[in-house]
Structure formats: C-alpha cells, structure tokens
Amino acid sequence: MRNTTVVALFLILGLASTAAPLRVRELGTPVKGINWVRIHPGSLAGRPSVLLSMGQNNGGLFVCDVDLSTGHCRQFPVGSAQADFPTASLRSPSTGILYIGSAWIGHLHRYDPTHPERGVEDLGEIDPGHVTFPCGIQEAPDGSLYIGAYPEANLTRFDPATGQFIRFGRIDETDKYLYPLVGDDGTLAMQVKMTRFFVVAMDPRTGERRQVGPVVKEPSASAVRFQFFKGEDGRLYLDTDAGGFRIEGLQATPVTTLPAPRAGVPARACPPSTSTITRRRW
C-alpha cells in the first residue's frame, strides 16, 4: 500500500478573508491505501471547518475531522467493513452535517461535527434490495435529502427531522445511474445515465414525473455537449448542442443565456479510484 499525505487545505475555496499569502502545512500520514477521497469545506460557529471522507477496499469508509487551528486530525470509522466506498456525499450548507451514501451496501450515513461523540451514524438502507451504489445526494430548501442510485436509477427522499425514507422507485427502466439536483425554488430534476443522457423532472408532492429537454446517446463517446447543472442564481439548467434550457417544475424552457454553474454543486460522481489528496502550492 502507498502512504498518503493529508494536508491542511485550510485556505481553500474562499475560506480565507484576508489577503495574506496562502500556505500549505503538512499534517502527516494517518491513513493508507484509500480511495474516493473528497474534501468537504464548511463553517462551524462562524469558523472555517474541513471534513474529509475516504473509502478503503478493506475496512470500510471513514471521516476525518480536521482542526484547522492545530492541524490535529480525528478519524471516525463507519463501523462496517461492507461500507467500502463513499460514492455519494453532501455536506449540508445549512447545518454543516456530512451525509454519505456507501457502496456496496447502499446505506446512508451521517457525521455531525458538532457531536463528534456520535461518530459516523448509520441511518439505514436507502432502498432495501434495490440500491447498492449511491450516485448523488442533494439537499432541498426544506432540508430534506434526495438520493439517486445504481443499479435501478432509483430516487429516495430522506427527512433528517424524522429519520424517514420515502422511496420513489425506479425513474427509468433501461439506464441504471441517477444524479439528482434541487433548485432553490424547489424544482427537483434528475440526470439519467449511461447509454443515454437525459433529464427527468418530478413533482415531489405528487410523484408526477416528466422527461424534459433532449435525449443524447452516449455523449462521452460522441463528444456531444450535455451539461445538467445548478446555476449561480440557484435554478436548474441544461446546456446541450440542441440549445440551453431552464428547468422549472415539470417544464424545460429554452433560454439564450445560461448562468455560470454554482461552485461545489456537482451532478456527477467523482472518479472511482483516487489514492491521494493532492498537495498544491499557490
């Protein structure tokens, strides 16, 4: 196994408010042989906060909570060797809580940095018998979470206030991967992959769903443009070779001008194998 150097990227992503030179400080090598590495910046009590999530081929995923003032890094294991990879994750911008969907057992987990004594909590199976590989997690304006998953392109809603799962089932009968996004206006839409790329909008109150915008076959192979994203204005957009669209409710309206994507809101999974957190010098 290769040693992995974890560094304090404590001035990344706009966390610094001064013009002082950016610095990188080495924290050591607390883990080995990791994958699916992600950095989750946030804020606690008005101070910058960074969490790291990492997977292991043997031993289960874990979360590292970094103290940015001292460089101390606390590691919290998931407690299940079968929860190998944190394939979907979201740090809530409203609460600072980190949610992780684990493969290949298809569970939802929670780490609350204000209650580290709870560790990485197991909230249960996302959709028993139907979900093994969570693809994406997004937070709605009401605080609920929407989780898209493989292998049945399933959609599930989780309410952190009640701990209840609402399972909407399969969104497409052919393709297997589902990546949801939620607009600030409450619009819920999902990108379906992989043999075809298209977007399905759904009313979360009624479950009514509708395919919106164009359908593209294997755009990664044909170099056709198809980008589903949340804009800087908080709305959902689709940018394709067939034109640009704004998605509102169950409709896709053509638009001539598209905003820039909002930073930190992906509609796709990270690469499946990453062995290091890169150390960068600015």
Domain positions in the chain are: 126-282
* Tens place of pLDDT per residue across the chain (282 aa): 444 444 444 334 444 444 557 777 766 555 667 899 999 999 888 889 999 999 998 889 999 999 998 889 999 999 999 999 999 999 999 999 999 999 999 999 999 999 999 999 999 999 999 999 999 999 999 999 999 999 999 999 999 999 999 999 999 999 999 999 999 999 999 999 989 999 999 999 999 999 999 999 877 777 889 999 999 999 999 999 999 999 999 999 999 999 999 987 664 433 333 333 332 222
Tally of CA atoms within 13 A in the half-sphere of 56 that contains its CB:
18
In this structure, what token pair is assigned to residue 273? 């194998």
| Burial class of residue 25 (count of CB atoms within 10 Å of its CB; 0-12, 13-18, 19+) | exposed
- In this structure, the number of other CB atoms found within 10 A of the CB of residue 35 comes to 19
HEC profile of 199-233: EEEECCCCCCEEEEEEEEECHHHHCCCEEEEEECC
pTM of the model: 0.83
Phi-psi map region of 206: left, alpha, beta (phi>0 left; psi -120 to 50 alpha): alpha
The answer to whether residues 107 and 131 touch, using CB atoms and an 8 Å cutoff, is no
